[in-house]
């Protein structure tokens, strides 16, 4: 029994079912309030109050810690914002169907906690939930790699490729960020590896084992089974020849025929 199984037996009754719905409703509400309080420069004081900053949390702005999951996606178009909410709700609901409410709660809470914990190690570094949301999609891509999205409602794309694209974007952010950004990204994706790291390692070991077996099989098939001890011909170099064994010695039909010919008595005139 795993640690998660033990925790679920003890704390499973406290899990929040359909947590994705509450997160999306919270983000929509915050976004609507933020749009109603826009400054002339198109910034929202409400969103600025929601960004997690450990220095300000320690100064008494405790709500920033609880507001972390409800920070709306930073996309410019209302259409893309709608799809961001839809995809988050869909993939998170699928994870809940696969894992159950408790494990999904743990996955989200651990991801949020690790992201904010890094914020306390780097006072003044602003933290949003962008990568936290990405890790839910990465978990979905791992569990349902053959699920298809239709880009622009036309082009079918399997989610495994979108997952690889997301990893590529995270790597770009990682290498283009300073050390603080690198630490934050590493911590934010740690919940993914905590949940899937063991399975990934087992899969890699299995693939390596299969590759070794395949290489050994190919090597075995490439080696000759019969080698003539007289001329060195093999069943690979001369597949048209027959090979026979005499006193545990292999001899090809050509050499055997030559021996028979030389052993025949010369004809008399």
Task: Render 9-68 in DSSP notation, one character per residue.
Answer: HHHGGG--TTHHHHHHHHHHHHHHHHHTT--TTS--HHHHHHSB-HHHHHTT-THHHHTG
Shared domain check, 239 and 184? no
User: Which pLDDT score is estimated for 269?
Assistant: 41
Is 64 part of a structural domain of the chain? yes
**Band of pLDDT at residue 264, cut at 50, 70 and 90:** low
We report the CATH number of the domain holding residue 169 as 1.20.1540.10
Q: What sign does the dihedral 50-56-58-60 (CA atoms) show?
A: negative
Residue 202 lies in a domain: no
- Identify whether 215 is part of a domain: no
Residues 58 and 172 both lie in one domain: yes
Same domain, 28 and 117: yes
Query: Do 233 and 160 fall into the same domain?
Result: no
Domain extent, residue 256, equals 224-262
Q: Which of 191, 216, 239 is the last residue of a domain?
A: 191
Exposure string for 193-204, b = 16+ CB within 10 A, e = fewer = eebeeeeeeeee
Question: What is the number of domains present in the chain?
Answer: 2
Q: Can you say whether the dihedral through the CA atoms of 22, 27, 32, 36 is positive or negative?
A: positive
Q: Please check the confidence at residue 79 and state whether its pLDDT lies above 70.
A: yes
Asked if 28 contacts 85 with a C-beta cutoff of 8 angstroms, the reply is yes
| Rg over CA atoms, the chain | 33
Residue 210 falls inside a structural domain: no
Confidence of residue 268 (pLDDT cuts 50, 70, 90): very low
Domain boundary among 148, 167, 191: 191
Rounded mean pLDDT, 27-45:
80
pLDDT digits (tens, 9 = 90+) for 193-207: 999 988 888 888 888
Query: Do residues 241 and 172 both lie within one domain?
Result: no
Of the ranges 43-47, 159-163, 213-217, the best mean pLDDT one? 159-163
186 and 243 belong to one structural domain: no
Considering the entire predicted model, what is its pTM? 0.74
57-61, 88-92, 233-237, range with greatest mean pLDDT = 88-92
Q: Please say which residue of 173, 191, 209 terminates a domain.
A: 191
Are 24 and 140 within one domain?
A: yes
Residues 22 and 139 both lie in one domain: yes
Do 29 and 109 lie in one domain? The reply is yes
Q: Give me the chain's average pLDDT, please.
A: 84
Q: According to the model, what pLDDT value does residue 41 have?
A: 67
Q: Could you tell me which residues come within 8 angstroms of residue 180 by beta carbon, excluding any fewer than 6 positions away?
A: 122, 125
Residue 137 confidence (pLDDT): 93
Confidence of residue 77 (pLDDT cuts 50, 70, 90): confident
Distance CA 21, CA 90 (A): 10
**Three-class DSSP category at 252:** strand
pLDDT at 23 over 90: yes
- Percent of the chain topping pLDDT 90: 24
268 within domain boundaries:
no
Are 149 and 235 within one domain? no
- Residues 21 and 67 placed together within one structural domain of the fold: yes
Q: Is residue 249 over pLDDT 70?
A: yes
Query: Is residue 50 domain-shared with residue 136, that is, in the same domain?
Result: yes
Q: Is residue 209 part of a domain?
A: no
DSSP assignment of 167-218 equals: HHHHHHHHHHS-HHHHHHHHHHTHHHHHHHHHHHHHHHHHHHHHHHHHHHHH
């Amino acid at each position: 029994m795993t640690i998660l199984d033990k925790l679920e037996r003890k704390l499973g009754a406290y899990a929040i079912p359909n947590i994705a719905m509450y997160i999306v409703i919270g983000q929509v509400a915050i976004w609507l309030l933020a749009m109603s309080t826009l400054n002339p420069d198109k910034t929202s004081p409400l969103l600025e109050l929601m960004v997690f900053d450990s220095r300000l949390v320690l100064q008494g702005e405790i709500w920033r810690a609880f507001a972390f999951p409800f920070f709306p996606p930073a996309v410019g178009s209302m259409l893309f914002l709608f799809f961001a909410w839809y995809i988050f709700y869909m993939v998170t609901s699928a994870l809940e169907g696969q894992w159950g409410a408790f494990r999904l709660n743990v996955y989200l809470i651990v991801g949020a906690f690790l992201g904010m914990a890094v914020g306390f190690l780097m006072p003044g570094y602003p933290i949003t939930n962008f990568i936290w949301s990405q890790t839910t999609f990465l978990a979905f891509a791992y569990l349902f790699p053959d699920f298809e999205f239709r880009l622009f409602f036309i082009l079918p794309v399997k989610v495994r490729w979108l997952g690889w694209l997301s990893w590529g974007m995270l790597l770009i952010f990682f290498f283009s960020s300073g050390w603080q950004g690198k630490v934050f990204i590493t911590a934010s994706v740690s919940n993914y590896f905590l949940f899937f790291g063991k399975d990934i390692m087992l899969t890699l070991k299995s693939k390596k084992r299969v590759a070794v077996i395949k290489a050994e099989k190919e090597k075995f098939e490439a080696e000759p089974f019969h080698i003539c001890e007289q001329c060195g011909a093999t069943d690979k170099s001369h597949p048209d020849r027959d090979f026979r064994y005499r006193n545990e010695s292999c001899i090809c039909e050509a050499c055997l025929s030559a021996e028979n010919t030389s052993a025949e008595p010369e004809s008399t005139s």
